[in-house]
């Protein structure tokens, strides 16, 4: 995505269990942008401010609804629908804390399913003072430190852990191409009913849906790598039982077909935080 500069940073060691990465995105031009974002299976906190000290994002739309009046600082839940983010025609910078799939539960102590497609304002997650501090800061380094400090306090006061679900998430990460709910139930010796309930509470969506989202994200990263000449090779590597199934999942989570994304490779971006394109 040539018009936007991305920087991906590792989380601080003390938060590495709950944060996937930090991503800074900046756009120096004056052209309005409409960015399509594929769901990643990760919740996150976003700080977004334009050069004129106003919000950079005009609205965020998914298939079922649209949100306007986007706050400078917000927390978003898991989300399983692709979204479209409309940016104003002005230079801007965003800082995104990409949280681990379980972090709504482990950092905030919430049932993640309550916020699975939601967008929360600062007063809804105890961040009013944080927003003031971020606005008053003049460097990304200071803002990142403030965001990390905020999450450390949340972890100390509100955090919960479901060790089994976090182990299962690690297993899914290592075996994205082949894993199934049936296999997880067998490997971790848990009843399917209990597993579905606990996973949905901690992660925010059912395990079968999370696996589909993560598999599509892996496909997008593989396509972006340039190492696969044919889309059928990507589908085969990820154990899709036929190409039509692969195309169907790609359309579900990215709006468009894999062939369309492959044609737009110069307008496509994929990293640890997820995938998006113009």
**Same-domain check for residues 14 and 81:** yes
Asked, for residue 21, whether it belongs to a domain, the answer is: yes
Cβ neighbours of residue 141 closer than 8 Å, sequence gap 6 or more: none
Average pLDDT, rounded, for the chain: 91
* Cα–Cα distance measured from residue 201 to residue 168, given in angstroms and rounded to the nearest whole number: 14
What is the pLDDT confidence band of residue 65, given thresholds at 50, 70 and 90?
A: confident
What's the pLDDT at 226? Answer: 73
What is the pLDDT confidence band of residue 1, given thresholds at 50, 70 and 90?
A: low
**Same-domain check for residues 151 and 179:** no
Asked, for residue 128, whether it belongs to a domain, the answer is: yes
Which range has the top average pLDDT, 15-24, 113-122, 218-227?
15-24
- 75 sits in which H/E element: strand 73-76
**Same-domain check for residues 148 and 15:** yes
**Same-domain check for residues 90 and 136:** yes
Asked, for residue 151, whether it belongs to a domain, the answer is: yes
Asked, for residue 99, whether it belongs to a domain, the answer is: yes
Cβ neighbours of residue 115 closer than 8 Å, sequence gap 6 or more: 43, 75, 77, 78, 104, 204
Q: Which residue among 158, 189, 224 closes a domain?
A: 158
Tell me which residue range forms the domain holding 146: 5-158
**Same-domain check for residues 134 and 214:** no
What's the pLDDT at 155? Answer: 94
| pLDDT of 103 over the 70 cut | yes
Asked, for residue 125, whether it belongs to a domain, the answer is: yes
What is the pLDDT confidence band of residue 264, given thresholds at 50, 70 and 90?
A: low
What is the pLDDT confidence band of residue 116, given thresholds at 50, 70 and 90?
A: confident
CATH no. for residue 218?
1.10.10.60
Asked, for residue 262, whether it belongs to a domain, the answer is: no
* Cα–Cα distance measured from residue 73 to residue 204, given in angstroms and rounded to the nearest whole number: 21
| Residues 180-196 pLDDT 10s | 999 999 999 999 999 99
Cβ neighbours of residue 186 closer than 8 Å, sequence gap 6 or more: none
Asked, for residue 265, whether it belongs to a domain, the answer is: no
Give per-residue burial for 101-139: e unless 16+ CB within 10 Å, then b: bbbbbbbbebebbebbbbbbbbeebebeebbebbeeeee
What is the pLDDT confidence band of residue 268, given thresholds at 50, 70 and 90?
A: confident
Does residue 124 contact residue 74 with C-beta atoms inside 8 Å?
no
Asked, for residue 266, whether it belongs to a domain, the answer is: no
**Same-domain check for residues 58 and 77:** yes
**Same-domain check for residues 130 and 15:** yes
* Cα–Cα distance measured from residue 21 to residue 93, given in angstroms and rounded to the nearest whole number: 17
Q: Which residue among 92, 123, 158 closes a domain?
A: 158
What's the pLDDT at 50? Answer: 94
Find the range with the poorest average confidence among 29-38, 132-141, 145-154: 29-38
Burial group, residue 11, by CB count within 10 angstroms (0-12, 13-18, 19+): buried
| pLDDT of 12 over the 90 cut | yes
* Cα–Cα distance measured from residue 239 to residue 150, given in angstroms and rounded to the nearest whole number: 41
Give the residue, 188 or 68, on which the prediction is more confident: 188
**Same-domain check for residues 21 and 67:** yes
**Same-domain check for residues 26 and 146:** yes
| pLDDT of 218 over the 80 cut | yes
What domain count does the chain have?
2
**Same-domain check for residues 241 and 202:** yes
CATH no. for residue 109?
2.60.120.10
| pLDDT of 222 over the 90 cut | no
Q: Cα separations (Å) of 99 from 16, 34, 59, 95, 222?
A: 9, 24, 22, 13, 22
**Same-domain check for residues 154 and 167:** no
Q: Which residue among 158, 174, 194 closes a domain?
A: 158
**Same-domain check for residues 112 and 170:** no
């Amino acid at each position: 995505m040539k018009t936007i500069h991305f920087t991906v940073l590792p989380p601080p060691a003390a938060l590495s269990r709950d944060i996937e990465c930090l991503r800074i995105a900046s756009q120096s031009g004056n052209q309005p942008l409409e960015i399509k974002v594929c769901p990643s299976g990760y919740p996150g906190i976003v700080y977004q401010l334009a050069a004129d000290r106003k919000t950079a994002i005009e609205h965020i739309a998914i298939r079922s609804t649209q949100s306007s009046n986007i706050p400078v600082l917000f927390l978003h839940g898991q989300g399983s629908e692709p979204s479209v983010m409309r940016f104003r025609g002005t230079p801007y910078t965003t800082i995104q804390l990409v949280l681990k799939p379980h972090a709504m539960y482990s950092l905030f102590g919430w049932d993640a399913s309550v916020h699975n497609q939601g967008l929360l304002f600062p007063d809804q997650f105890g961040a009013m003072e944080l927003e003031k501090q971020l606005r008053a800061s003049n460097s990304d380094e200071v803002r990142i430190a403030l965001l990390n400090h905020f999450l450390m306090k949340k972890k100390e006061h509100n955090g919960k852990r479901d060790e089994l679900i976090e182990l299962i998430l690690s297993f899914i990460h290592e075996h994205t191409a082949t894993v199934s709910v049936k296999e997880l139930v067998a490997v971790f010796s848990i009843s399917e009913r209990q597993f579905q309930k606990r996973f949905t509470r901690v992660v925010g969506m059912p395990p079968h849906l999370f696996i589909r989202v993560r598999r599509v994200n892996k496909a997008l990263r593989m396509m972006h790598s340039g190492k696969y000449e044919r889309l059928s090779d990507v589908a085969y590597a990820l154990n899709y039982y036929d190409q039509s199934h692969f195309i169907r999942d790609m359309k579900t989570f990215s709006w468009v077909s894999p062939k369309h994304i492959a044609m737009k490779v110069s307008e496509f971006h994929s990293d640890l935080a997820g995938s998006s394109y113009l």
